[in-house]
Structure 1
Amino acid sequence: MPNTTPATIAIVDDDQALRDSLAWLLASVGLEAQTFADGERFLAAPVTWQVVLLDVRMPGLSGLQVQQQLADHGQSAPVIMMTGHGDVPMAVAALKNGAFDFIEKPFNHQQLIDSVQQALALAQQRKQRDLSMAALHEQFNALRPKEQLIVKYVAEGMTSREIATQMALSSKTVEVYRQRAMKQLGVTNAAALVRCAVALGVVAPLNATPPP
């Protein structure tokens, strides 16, 4: 069954017939697309895209240059590079630079739809991750300064007694502050509290292997 959830997909290619064909194909499975004849017009559009279908070789800015500008501006939409047979090395370079996939022309319709659907799933995962991190930062910022400091000390491996000595508090007060912090951050144990601290950048993650 077609996916009936609209999605904002950009199609950037200098071939109008191809743009129209791709827009029609995506519309046939319930996906909304906007088309652009070149990278300059695409980059000027005030839209946050969910997926970008990007031709490697175009007049003006190349697909690789457009991809780089997206990255420079912090745009995280998955990019699917569209390439002619002779442009595969360029598409591989795009993959190394963070592109999601590349598809050779002429397209296999089902392959393209599958790639777009997978890219949309990735975009949704990124959106949920960003929302979760924004909520976590908001929760942490709502803590009192002493509670934030206790989260940091716990994540650094200090015991309640050590924290109490460091902060000139009683161990009981440290426990009260720690419990408040855990409740505010929505965690129920010290391990989860440490993971939150690492995700927030309160402490640096431990290296998997020690440096030589």
Structure 2
Amino acid sequence: MSVERVYIVDDDPDVRQATSFLVATAGYATVALEGAEALLTAISAETAGCLVLDVRLPGMDGLQLQRELRRRGVRLPIVFITGHGDIPMAVEAISEGALDFLEKPFGAETLLRRIAEALERDRQRREQQRSAAALEARLAQLTPREHQVMEGILAGKLNKVIGYELGMSTRTVEVHRARLLDKLGARNASELVRMVLTGEGQVP
């Protein structure tokens, strides 16, 4: 499992050091970096945690970096900080998925509160990914017939209708139904529908 970290990216060494000290003192593992290229080298789509990004970075700025991270499949929550913010930039950052946009000087408690929210959002994201992966693995265990029966169940069809369409007895449909529910860890058809449509299987 990836270690949860707060990545702080700011080209001002004093701000970077002060922010890193504040976050570390609050008990978070921190990584302080000076620019976009350093961050892109340090993280991947599997990285856990959140980002605290200065929007005014040399080279690739914070908003460009946000788009590049998305292109690479990195979904870490972002808290933007800036000393030169304006409304259009804030609107763009939030519309692109940033958690917040804080202007310097920001209060320590405000930043820490946003970081806590960002980390919780990332934990939920990773839990959903694990859940979806578990469901996908279970779906892969189904036989072709079980897949066909499942499609009938998802369409709201009765066992006898599924049997008629697939050329099998109602009893055979019931056997396939029981087996696929067991493989997917669903207690009944309603739970099966919820799991498949939301992609939220139980993590073993």
Q: What residue number does 1:20 align with?
A: 17
Superposed counterparts of 1:149-188, under 5 Å: 149-188=148-187
In 2, the alpha carbon distance for the partners of 1:166 and 1:64 equals: 53
Is residue 2:77 matched to residue 1:92? no
Q: 3-state SS of the aligned residue for 2:7?
A: strand
In structure 2, list runs of 5 or more residues that go unmatched.
200-204
Q: 1:78·1:123 contact (CA, 8 Å) conserved in 2?
A: yes
In 1, the alpha carbon distance for the partners of 2:148 and 2:154 equals: 10
Q: 3-state SS of the aligned residue for 2:4?
A: coil
TM-score by length of 2: 0.90
Of all paired residues, the percent bearing the same amino acid is 37
Q: What residue number does 2:138 align with?
A: 139
Number of matched pairs: 195
Q: What residue number does 2:101 align with?
A: 102
Q: Report the more deviating stretch, 160-169 or 189-198.
A: 189-198
Q: What residue number does 1:206 align with?
A: none
Shift of 1:199: 3.1
| Aligned equivalent of 2:42, options 40, 45, 58 | 45
Superposed counterparts of 1:123-134, under 5 Å: 123-134=122-133
User: C-alpha offsets along residues 89-126 of structure 1, whole Å, 9 cap, x if unaligned?
Assistant: 21221100111111111120001001001111111111
Q: 1:23·1:34 contact (CA, 8 Å) conserved in 2?
A: yes
Q: 1:50·1:123 contact (CA, 8 Å) conserved in 2?
A: yes
Which of 1 and 2 has higher RCO (CA within 8 Å, sep 6+)?
A: 2
In structure 1, list runs of 5 or more residues that go unmatched.
1-5, 201-212
Q: What residue number does 2:61 align with?
A: 62
Q: What residue number does 2:191 align with?
A: 192
TM-score by length of 1: 0.87
Q: 3-state SS of the aligned residue for 1:8?
A: strand
Give the direction of change, closer, same or farther, for the CA distance of 1:86–1:133 in structure 2 (3 Å limit).
closer
